[in-house]
């Protein structure tokens, strides 16, 4: 299987999970596949395999921007980086939905956050914390937990 094919499969595979978070956040299938982190863990396992295959043959390092650019010139490392984004962004999106449910934030207000989390990761997370703040919730509760 080529890196391009794995990229295409992984990219398309996460879309149903995101759709479930948007249209059926409390459905048992969403809970089983997405909120349980099962989907993110499958992508994480794939990430582990790809990074194990590609890192040994990659040039570069993570100590400078030039070194990172050199690392990502390797197709397997670039694929691993993308899988990293897919796994973490989906995990964060699922957390946003669960957290909003616990805080009684209307789901329709979380949907833009999910879209931004899917497309621009940290921007979506930032937007979600703005929504939390607008609902009177501290971004980090006094006990230090993420709420």
In a domain, 47, yes or no: yes
In a domain, 30, yes or no: yes
Q: Average pLDDT in the 99-121 region? A: 96
Burial class, 77, CB count within 10 angstroms (exposed 0-12 / middle 13-18 / buried 19+) = buried
Supply the DSSP symbol for 143: T
As a whole number, the mean pLDDT across the chain is 90
In a domain, 146, yes or no: no
- The span from the CA of 13 to the CA of 106, in Å, is 27
pLDDT digits (tens, 9 = 90+) for 54-63: 767 778 788 8
Instruction: Give how many domains the chain has, as a whole number.
Output: 1
In a domain, 103, yes or no: yes
In a domain, 142, yes or no: no
> What predicted TM-score, i.e. pTM, was given to this entire model?
0.87
Residue 51: which domain range?
3-134
In a domain, 24, yes or no: yes
């Amino acid at each position: 299987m080529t890196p391009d094919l794995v990229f295409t499969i992984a990219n398309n595979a996460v879309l149903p999970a995101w759709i479930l978070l948007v249209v059926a956040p409390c459905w048992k299938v969403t809970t089983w596949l997405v909120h349980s982190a099962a989907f993110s863990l499958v992508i994480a396992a794939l990430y582990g395999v790809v990074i194990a295959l590609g890192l040994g043959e990659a040039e570069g390092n993570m100590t400078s921007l030039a070194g990172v650019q050199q690392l990502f010139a390797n197709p397997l490392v670039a694929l691993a980086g993308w899988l990293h984004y897919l796994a973490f962004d989906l995990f964060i999106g699922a957390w946003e939905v669960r957290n909003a449910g616990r805080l009684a934030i209307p789901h329709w207000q979380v949907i833009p956050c999910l879209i931004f989390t899917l497309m621009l990761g940290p921007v979506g997370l930032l937007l979600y914390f703005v929504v939390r703040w607008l609902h009177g919730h501290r971004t980090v509760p006094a006990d230090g937990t993420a709420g």
